[in-house]
A = this chain, B = another copy of it.
Protein backbone atom coordinates (compact mmCIF):
# COMPACT_ATOMS: atom_id res chain seq x y z
CA UNK A 1 0.00 0.00 0.00
CA UNK A 2 1.22 3.45 -0.88
CA UNK A 3 1.76 5.81 2.02
CA UNK A 4 -0.19 8.89 1.08
CA UNK A 5 1.55 12.21 1.51
CA UNK A 6 -0.04 14.68 3.92
CA UNK A 7 -1.42 17.52 1.82
CA UNK A 8 -1.75 19.78 4.85
CA UNK A 9 1.95 19.47 5.54
CA UNK A 10 2.72 20.11 1.87
CA UNK A 11 0.50 23.17 1.80
CA UNK A 12 2.31 24.52 4.86
CA UNK A 13 5.71 24.00 3.25
CA UNK A 14 4.59 25.35 -0.13
CA UNK A 15 4.77 28.96 1.05
CA UNK A 16 8.06 30.65 0.07
CA UNK A 17 8.54 32.45 3.38
CA UNK A 18 7.73 29.37 5.43
CA UNK A 19 10.10 27.24 3.37
CA UNK A 20 12.77 29.87 3.87
CA UNK A 21 12.19 29.67 7.61
CA UNK A 22 12.46 25.88 7.50
CA UNK A 23 15.68 26.07 5.47
CA UNK A 24 17.20 28.54 7.92
CA UNK A 25 16.16 26.46 10.93
CA UNK A 26 17.63 23.34 9.37
CA UNK A 27 21.08 24.90 9.75
CA UNK A 28 20.75 26.40 13.22
CA UNK A 29 18.23 26.99 15.97
CA UNK A 30 17.12 30.63 15.89
CA UNK A 31 14.78 32.98 17.72
CA UNK A 32 12.23 35.27 16.10
CA UNK A 33 14.54 38.26 16.09
CA UNK A 34 17.11 36.36 14.07
CA UNK A 35 14.44 35.26 11.61
CA UNK A 36 13.29 38.85 11.19
CA UNK A 37 16.87 39.83 10.35
CA UNK A 38 17.44 36.92 7.98
CA UNK A 39 14.18 37.07 6.06
CA UNK A 40 13.47 40.81 6.15
CA UNK A 41 9.82 40.07 6.86
CA UNK A 42 7.75 41.89 9.50
CA UNK A 43 7.67 40.40 12.95
CA UNK A 44 3.90 40.00 12.85
CA UNK A 45 4.06 38.20 9.56
CA UNK A 46 6.74 35.84 10.81
CA UNK A 47 4.84 35.19 13.99
CA UNK A 48 1.81 34.13 11.97
CA UNK A 49 3.85 31.76 9.83
CA UNK A 50 5.64 30.34 12.86
CA UNK A 51 2.28 29.58 14.43
CA UNK A 52 1.32 27.62 11.33
CA UNK A 53 4.60 25.71 11.46
CA UNK A 54 4.08 25.03 15.16
CA UNK A 55 0.52 23.79 14.67
CA UNK A 56 1.67 21.40 11.94
CA UNK A 57 4.45 20.07 14.15
CA UNK A 58 7.20 21.16 11.79
CA UNK A 59 8.96 23.24 14.45
CA UNK A 60 9.00 23.33 18.22
CA UNK A 61 9.70 26.22 20.57
CA UNK A 62 12.06 26.60 23.48
CA UNK A 63 11.59 29.73 25.63
CA UNK A 64 14.76 31.48 26.76
CA UNK A 65 13.97 34.54 28.83
CA UNK A 66 12.33 37.10 26.62
CA UNK A 67 13.34 35.17 23.54
CA UNK A 68 11.73 32.16 21.92
CA UNK A 69 13.96 29.73 20.11
CA UNK A 70 12.58 27.78 17.19
CA UNK A 71 14.05 24.45 16.17
CA UNK A 72 13.14 22.11 13.37
CA UNK A 73 11.77 18.61 13.98
CA UNK A 74 13.72 16.45 11.54
CA UNK A 75 11.27 13.51 11.71
CA UNK A 76 8.66 15.46 9.78
CA UNK A 77 11.00 16.12 6.88
CA UNK A 78 12.35 12.58 6.99
CA UNK A 79 8.89 11.10 6.73
CA UNK A 80 8.06 13.42 3.87
CA UNK A 81 11.25 12.47 2.04
CA UNK A 82 10.40 8.81 2.59
CA UNK A 83 6.88 9.17 1.22
CA UNK A 84 8.09 10.90 -1.92
CA UNK A 85 10.86 8.36 -2.38
CA UNK A 86 8.31 5.56 -2.15
CA UNK A 87 6.03 7.31 -4.60
CA UNK A 88 8.94 7.84 -6.99
CA UNK A 89 9.96 4.20 -6.73
CA UNK A 90 6.44 3.07 -7.56
CA UNK A 91 6.40 5.43 -10.54
CA UNK A 92 9.77 4.04 -11.72
CA UNK A 93 8.40 0.52 -11.61
CA UNK A 94 5.28 1.57 -13.48
CA UNK A 95 7.46 3.20 -16.13
CA UNK A 96 9.70 0.14 -16.38
CA UNK A 97 6.83 -2.33 -16.75
CA UNK A 98 4.81 0.09 -18.86
CA UNK A 99 1.80 -0.56 -16.65
CA UNK A 100 -1.16 0.96 -18.43
CA UNK A 101 -4.90 0.56 -18.05
CA UNK A 102 -6.69 -0.26 -21.32
CA UNK A 103 -8.94 2.32 -22.99
CA UNK A 104 -12.55 1.78 -22.02
Tell me the A residues contacting B by CB distance below 8 Å.
Answer: 2, 4-5, 7, 10-11, 13-16, 19, 22-23, 25-31, 33-34, 64-65, 67, 69, 71-74, 77-78, 80-82, 84-85, 87-92, 94-95, 98-101, 103-104
CB distance from A90 to the nearest CB of B (A): 4
| Contact between chains at A29 and B103 (CB < 8 Å) | no
Q: Tell whether A23 pairs with B87 under 8 Å between CB atoms, given A29-B99, A65-B103.
A: yes
Number of copies: 2
What would 7 A/B residue contacts be, using CB atoms closer than 8 Å?
A: A7-B14, A27-B94, A28-B99, A29-B99, A31-B101, A73-B91, A78-B88
CB distance from A32 to the nearest CB of B (A): 11
List B contacts of A10 (CB < 8 A).
10, 13-14, 19
